[in-house]
Amino acid sequence: MQDDSEHLKQYYTDEAWAALARRQAEMTPEQRKAAAEEGTRAWAALFGDIEASLGEDPAGPKAQALVARWKALVESFTGDDRGISAGLKKAWADQSNWPATLQRHTARFANPNVWAFIESAVAAKRSQG
């Protein structure tokens, strides 16, 4: 079985992967564990809130508040690093090709309706200027 991090590495440039490694190296193991647990809880809550809001107008205030939460969580992981962000997008776009262990670990975040809603809400925000 391939290590999940080794599989994910393919989606990042060498520079972005090194930046991700530096971000992790700046934390103690306890801090990494706490950040992972908090991140998982925050993402699970957000996905639940989005699932409960699928009928909302993507341009409406509720959807836009969900987009803001989404972006904040992404930025907390990426440190607003464009390379890390690009790798993260590539990885999630290819989720169907992830190893089974990684797919099981992230299954609660695989609802295509949630992803479609967020994409619509982000597009609505862009069109609003």
Q: What's the chain's Rg over C-alpha atoms?
A: 15
Residue 3 has pLDDT above 80, yes or no: no
> For the chain, what percent of residues have pLDDT higher than 70?
98
Task: Tell me, letter by letter, the H, E, C secondary structure of the chain.
Answer: CCCHHHHHHCCCCHHHHHHHHHHHHCCCHHHHHHHHHHHHHHHHHHHHHHHCCCCCCCCCHHHHHHHHHHHHHHHHHHCCCHHHHHHHHHHHHCHHHCCHHHHHHCHHHCCHHHHHHHHHHHHHHHHHC
Would you kindly state where each structural domain of the chain is located, as residue ranges? Answer: 4-128
Instruction: Give the global pTM.
Output: 0.87
Residue 42 has pLDDT above 80, yes or no: yes
Angle in degrees, 0-180, between the axes of helices 61-78 and 29-51, rounded to the nearest 10: 160
Band of pLDDT at residue 1, cut at 50, 70 and 90 = very low
- Please say whether the dihedral angle defined by the alpha carbons of residues 87, 89, 93 and 97, taken in this order, is positive or negative: positive
Mean pLDDT (the chain, rounded): 93
Burial of 32 (0-12, 13-18, 19+ CB in 10 A): middle
